[in-house]
């Protein structure tokens, strides 16, 4: 098992943001967390990245308990996140942003590094075209591509994606999800938080529904997409 989350509890002050959640992610899967705003999805990803303190429970990655491992060490363990809101370095160029994604790597002058950069440019040809452009001058869709590309430069075993479709036009959303599927098919395990439940369930091997910090439903993407109660609550009544 690549990732095992057991009995996880996280607070913001006295408020429980995550309440005793448990789930696993197998290597090679796409697993998605869906739910309304405030359900605890982003907090879950931040906790897995080491950006939130765990009150109770554990996070085990590749058999190692990383519950108290700091965030920068988790990147070195090959857990990488593309954050909600993209978070690109707006004053840096595309290439500089990508290089920042690889800050823990010690092989920047090797063919392996060049291969990873080429992989990102193959997935996102627009980034190659904009390689010397300052990130803050790019469109929202281009910045989202850059955020994912930057996360990939850490060579993650587990890629955490937080709301990759947020604020994007429908045509671009389709493109982003197609690329996420391709990233997974190339061998990267993906844990996806996404409000566009219809798109997320289409590519998910396993899906968990969060409500007020708790997992209330689990199933395959196909099972949940076909469930009438899920359709009514999260899919606008239909896919």
Which tens digits make up the pLDDT trace of 80-121?
999 988 899 999 999 999 999 999 888 888 899 999 999 999
Global confidence as pTM = 0.94
Domains of the chain: 1-78+156-165+173-239 (3.40.50.300), 87-154 (no CATH)
DSSP string, 168-229: --HHHHHHHHHHHHHHHHTT-EEEEE-S-HHHHHHH-SEEEEEETTEEEEEE-HHHHHT-HH
| pLDDT score, position 236 | 63
Per mean pLDDT, which range of 77-86, 104-113, 165-174, 230-239 is the poorest? 230-239
Q: Say if CB 225 and CB 235 are below 8 A apart.
A: yes
At residue 237 the predicted structure's pLDDT band, cuts being 50, 70 and 90, is very low
Which tens digits make up the pLDDT trace of 66-75?
999 999 999 9
Per mean pLDDT, which range of 21-30, 102-111, 174-183, 224-233 is the poorest? 102-111
């Amino acid at each position: 098992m690549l990732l095992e989350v057991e009995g996880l509890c996280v607070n913001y002050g006295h408020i429980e943001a995550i309440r005793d959640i448990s789930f696993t992610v197998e290597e090679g899967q796409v697993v998605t967390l869906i739910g309304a705003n405030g359900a605890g999805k982003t907090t879950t990803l931040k906790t897995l990245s080491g950006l939130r303190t765990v009150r109770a429970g554990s996070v085990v990655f590749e058999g190692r308990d990383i519950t108290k491992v700091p965030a920068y060490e988790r990147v070195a363990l090959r857990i990488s996140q593309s954050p909600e809101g993209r978070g690109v370095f707006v004053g840096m160029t595309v290439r500089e942003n990508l290089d920042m994604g690889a800050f823990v790597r010690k092989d920047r002058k090797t063919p392996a590094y060049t291969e990873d950069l080429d992989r990102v440019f193959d997935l996102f040809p627009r980034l190659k075209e904009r390689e010397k452009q300052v990130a803050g001058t790019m469109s929202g869709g281009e910045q989202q591509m850059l955020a994912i590309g930057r996360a990939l430069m850490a060579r993650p075993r587990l890629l955490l994606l937080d709301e990759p479709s947020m604020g994007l036009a429908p045509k671009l959303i389709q493109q982003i999800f197609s690329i996420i599927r391709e990233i997974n098919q190339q061998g990267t395990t993906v844990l996806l938080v996404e409000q566009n439940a219809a798109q997320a369930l289409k590519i998910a091997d396993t899906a968990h529904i969060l409500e007020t910090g708790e997992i209330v439903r689990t199933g395959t993407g196909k099972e949940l997409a076909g469930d009438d109660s899920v359709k009514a609550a999260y899919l606008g009544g239909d896919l």
